[in-house]
């Protein structure tokens, strides 16, 4: 994980593997988000360096630590709530596959730009027989229109970038190598928003989802 800045816009590269939510990954991203806010950044773009934006939950760790399942899900919920209400403008540069909780992480951002020609956005829960937690469902429902909720949550469909944009799951698409720059440019005009005001607005907008996530 690597945090850099383009002018005053923070760019957080999640890594070049599957970027699953191991406890170590959760610690790193939580710390990076704190650094972004403390730095006075004018925005945050999350991106990745490989074929995955994020493949979501670390199911191997969860299987080996089943007695800590509630703690783990609580940590994931806390991350999603934190991104959802971060007091700076946020954009996910979905440069590769975003599955499950990785797709939820993207949804928690204010904006999403996805690669047009490669990668899938997918909530596979219906096919892997893992129902959404109430918090995760509330997060998605806070961000997507009802038709897009049904299309994505009940089908397990893998959306390419163009289809995801048509469904309103992502805001726009870009070509290879252009996704992260495009996400940065989405945030550039939003520089200088007061963090206290923006944070309060997001907390009000998404209060029910944050409460469902345990925040």
Residue ranges of domains in the chain, CATH in brackets: 2-214 (3.90.226.10)
pLDDT band at 4 (very low <50, low <70, confident <90, very high): very high
How large is the average pLDDT for residues 159-180? 97
Q: What is the pTM of this model?
A: 0.97
Q: How confident is the model at residue 105 (pLDDT cuts 50, 70, 90)?
A: very high
| Calpha distance 130→146 (Å, rounded) | 21
* Close Cβ partners of 171 (under 8 Å, ≥ 6 residues apart): 111, 112, 113, 165, 186
142-160 tens-digit pLDDT: 999 999 999 999 999 999 9
Report yes or no: 95 and 53 within 8 Å, Cβ to Cβ: yes
Q: What angle do CA 200, 205, 208 make, to 5 degrees?
A: 110
- Asked if 198 contacts 139 with a C-beta cutoff of 8 angstroms, the reply is no
Return the pLDDT at 160.
98
pLDDT of residue 134: 97
Q: What is the mean pLDDT of residues 27-47?
A: 98
Quick one: three-class SS letters along 25-70?
HHHHHHHHHHHHHHCCCCEEEEECCCCEEECCECHHHHHHCHHHHH
Q: What pLDDT sits at residue 21? A: 98
d(CA 93, CA 96): 9
Q: Identify the bridge partners of residue 112 per DSSP, sorted by sequence position.
A: 92
pLDDT for residue 100 is more than 90: yes
Backbone angles phi, psi at 39, to 5 degrees: -75, -15
For a pLDDT cut of 90, what percent of the chain falls above it?
99
Residue 215 has pLDDT above 90, yes or no: no
Q: Please tell me the predicted confidence (pLDDT) of residue 99.
A: 98
């Amino acid at each position: 994980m690597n945090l850099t800045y383009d002018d005053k816009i923070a760019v957080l590269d999640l890594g070049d593997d599957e970027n699953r939510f191991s406890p170590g990954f959760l610690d790193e991203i939580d710390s990076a988000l704190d650094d972004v806010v403390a730095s006075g950044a004018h925005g945050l773009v999350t991106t990745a360096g490989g074929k995955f934006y994020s493949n979501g939950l670390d199911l191997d760790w969860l299987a080996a630590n089943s007695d800590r399942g509630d703690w783990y899900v609580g940590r994931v919920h806390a991350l999603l709530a934190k991104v959802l209400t971060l007091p700076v403008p946020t954009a996910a540069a979905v440069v590769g596959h975003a599955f499950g909780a990785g797709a939820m992480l993207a949804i928690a951002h204010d904006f999403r730009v996805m690669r047009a020609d490669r990668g899938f956005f997918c909530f596979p829960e219906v096919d892997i027989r893992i129902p959404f937690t109430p918090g995760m469902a509330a997060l998605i429902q806070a961000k997507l229109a009802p038709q897009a909720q049904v299309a994505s949550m009940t089908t397990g469909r893998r959306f390419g970038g163009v289809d995801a944009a048509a469904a309103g799951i992502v805001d726009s698409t870009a070509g290879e190598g252009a996704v992260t720059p495009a996400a940065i440019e989405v945030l550039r005009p939003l520089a200088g928003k007061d963090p206290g005001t923006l944070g309060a607005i997001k907390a009000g907008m998404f209060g029910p989802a944050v409460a469902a996530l345990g925040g």
